[in-house]
Structure 1
Amino acid sequence: MNRVISVMLALWLPLSAMAETVTLAPVDLTDWKSVFGQVEARDRLPARARLGGTLVDLTVKEGDEVKAGALLGRIVDEKLAFQISAYDAQRASLDAQLANAEAELKRGEDLLARGVTTAQRLDALRTQVDVLKGQIEAVAAQRQVVEQQAAEGDVLAPADGRVLDVPVAKGAVVMAGEEVVLLGGGGIFLRLAIPERHAAALHEGATLPIETPEGEVQGTLERIYPLIENGRVLADVAVQGLSGRFVDARVLVRLPMAARPALAVPRAALITRAGVDFVAVETAAGLALRTVLPGEPQVIGGVESVEVLSGLQPGDRIRTDGATAAAEITAAEGAGHD
């Protein structure tokens, strides 16, 4: 038996020398509240119809990525084609009148050179030519206006982004100013709606843990809106690398509410036996196990820790390596029984 005890002591004495002992002192722990944040596009830009008419072409669908100025659809107003034809007819008539007036002016100049006609008659012919040229220019300008109106039937992307919604279908009749395509661009952020009783705990620049389908990431609270709507405060959270595949998707965000003093031990210090948790405490009589009630896990100084709700008090000296401490206590108990 003495040989067995000697072997056990030889095993735990080196471990005991390596074990770290710390003195418990209160630390500030943060209470967190979980809320849902909604993925939002920074800019929601509607591509609107600039012309009333029939949507004869629609080149995009929900989810498509587009560049600024890209053609999204085309609207046609058939009346514009008739107006252009009418201006073309007016132009042809005026061109014929101008050709005749210029011929009359040429004959008048020849007659004046021979002294057959008067200078007054020649001035009237010149005036008639100038009037017809002005009318032709006016008709050309009016035709350009109608051509510009027809060109405004092209629905263009106002910015780079993703197509979020297409509320109309090909063949629909749309009015000027009506939304044809809704784009989301300018990046992605999270929009929070927080109960107003927690507004005082919010601070711009705070780092918030966010649970996404890809894993937990960190976000920064970048804006808190001063207007409270329906008992809720709106806030924006910037998240690096947040996926914008699903706009308006909801993700879980944890908000720091308050800080309070508490006792915490490293997770490795816990010893679990028969469903009961213990911590090894150094006392005047030696190393002893003390029953504790653990709380929520915490990360303190980069170390995985557990809050201790009861069983310990400030000033207690505990072993941070529960497995080593348990082996030491077991060996000591075996030696005592012998």
Structure 2
Amino acid sequence: MIATQPSRFTAMRFVALSLAITVAMPAWADELEVHPRRMEDMKAVAATVESVHETTARARLGGTVGSLATDEGQRVQAGQRLATIADAKLAPQIGGAEARIKSMEAERDLAATELQRARDLFDKGAGTKMRLDGAVTRLEVAERAVAGARSERSVLAERSGEGAVLAPANGRVLKVHVTEGSVVLPGDVIATIAVENYALRLALPERHARFIKVGDTVLVGERALAAGDTPPRPGLVRKVYPRIENGRVTADVEVGGLGDFFVGERVPVHVTTGSRAAFVVPSAAIIRRFGLDMIRLKGGAEVVVQTGQIGEAGVEILSGLRDGDVVTW
């Protein structure tokens, strides 16, 4: 009886330990047989927010800037008044045209009266046909003179309306080139406007020129002036410029939401500069223990690995795995 007690106790401890080990061992839900796959090399570069097109609001009339209705940074709509230019010589010219019109209208009225008198005399037999024809001609000449004077006044009035400098397109004012009281000539630039069509402009080293093409997808990071932890968002390469300047190739990336950015603001962008063969596993398969990254293989063995780039497909494994290994997690 004394010898059987320890054996029974030992058996109970063994059963309890087996149950504990069974409970502690996880049930492998997923497994993956790893093989080399192509993985893109991503390079971080800085892009600047640029307007695809810039336009200028110019003066159509020479004169003095009477008032400015815009300032740098203001959003404007097409046709919005930006400034008013006044020409001091237009008012006297319009006044002179009005005086000539009144004088010619008086001559026309006199010619009409003479024509009526000549027609009455001709009807009574006291006037000649020549006098009647002369009166008709004088009235026609007077009417054409009045029409010409009115056209001249319309031209002067139209020139006066050209003193309004209007925005040629929707956009944001980048720079105002004049101040109130400035003297300008026809064609002088009043303001420079960035048209509301913004893009990220990249300047890549020319060794990467063969990797970038229209239609490529890039990752656009958070703007430097923004607060928070916003994940990168995709952008599309819209245009690659065919000229290399100062050892760099320029490309435009189209991405939404750039209307609130400052023109010239720098934004981090990750672009593809090639590809390489690599092992990629899901991030859930990485075990962090004692400062090391480990992966559990099928069968229970654990290997130490060195991780690399993290992408949408998973985590790149630089070393520790071989082709055909089955990873469990």
Q: Secondary structure at the match of 1:277?
A: strand
Per the TM alignment, residue 9 of structure 1 is displaced from its structure 2 partner at its CA by 0.7
Q: Does 1:315 align with 2:324?
A: yes
Tell me the residue number matched to 2:292.
Answer: 276
Supply the AA of the counterpart residue of 2:280.
Answer: A
Gaps of 5+ in 2: 1-12
Per the TM alignment, residue 208 of structure 1 is displaced from its structure 2 partner at its CA by 1.0
In structure 2, relative to structure 1, the CA distance for the partners of 1:105 and 1:243 (3 Å cut) is: closer
Q: Runs of 4+ in structure 1 displaced over 6 angstroms?
A: none
In structure 2, relative to structure 1, the CA distance for the partners of 1:288 and 1:81 (3 Å cut) is: same
Q: Secondary structure at the match of 2:73?
A: coil
In structure 2, relative to structure 1, the CA distance for the partners of 1:245 and 1:318 (3 Å cut) is: closer
Aligned equivalents of 2:89, 2:71: Cα separation in 1: 29
Per the normalisation by structure 2, the TM-score is 0.84
Contact 1:56 1:76 in 2 (8 A): yes
Supply the AA of the counterpart residue of 1:84.
Answer: I
Contact 2:68 2:179 in 1 (8 A): yes
Per the TM alignment, residue 35 of structure 1 is displaced from its structure 2 partner at its CA by 1.6
Tell me the residue number matched to 2:107.
Answer: 97
Deviations along 1:234-268, one digit per CA (max 9) or x if unpaired, are 22211133343412212111111111111233333
Per the TM alignment, residue 111 of structure 1 is displaced from its structure 2 partner at its CA by 4.4
In structure 2, relative to structure 1, the CA distance for the partners of 1:118 and 1:256 (3 Å cut) is: same
Q: Does 1:258 align with 2:267?
A: no
Aligned equivalents of 1:42, 1:314: Cα separation in 2: 48
Contact 1:39 1:244 in 2 (8 A): no
Supply the AA of the counterpart residue of 1:9.
Answer: I
Alignment match of 2:245 (pick from 215, 221, 229): 229
Aligned equivalents of 1:266, 1:116: Cα separation in 2: 117
Gaps of 5+ in 1: 321-338
Per the TM alignment, residue 117 of structure 1 is displaced from its structure 2 partner at its CA by 4.9
Tell me the residue number matched to 2:21.
Answer: 9
Aligned equivalents of 1:220, 1:115: Cα separation in 2: 92
Say which is worse superposed, 217-226 or 2-11, in terms of deviation. Answer: 2-11
Contact 2:49 2:261 in 1 (8 A): no
Tell me the residue number matched to 2:205.
Answer: 195
Per the TM alignment, residue 209 of structure 1 is displaced from its structure 2 partner at its CA by 0.6
Per the TM alignment, residue 91 of structure 1 is displaced from its structure 2 partner at its CA by 1.6
Alignment match of 1:267 (pick from 277, 283, 291): 283
Aligned equivalents of 1:53, 1:144: Cα separation in 2: 19
In structure 2, relative to structure 1, the CA distance for the partners of 1:18 and 1:291 (3 Å cut) is: closer
Q: Does 1:39 align with 2:55?
A: no
Q: Secondary structure at the match of 2:293?
A: strand
Aligned equivalents of 2:265, 2:127: Cα separation in 1: 88
In structure 2, relative to structure 1, the CA distance for the partners of 1:187 and 1:176 (3 Å cut) is: same
Alignment match of 1:121 (pick from 118, 131, 138): 131
Contact 1:188 1:244 in 2 (8 A): no
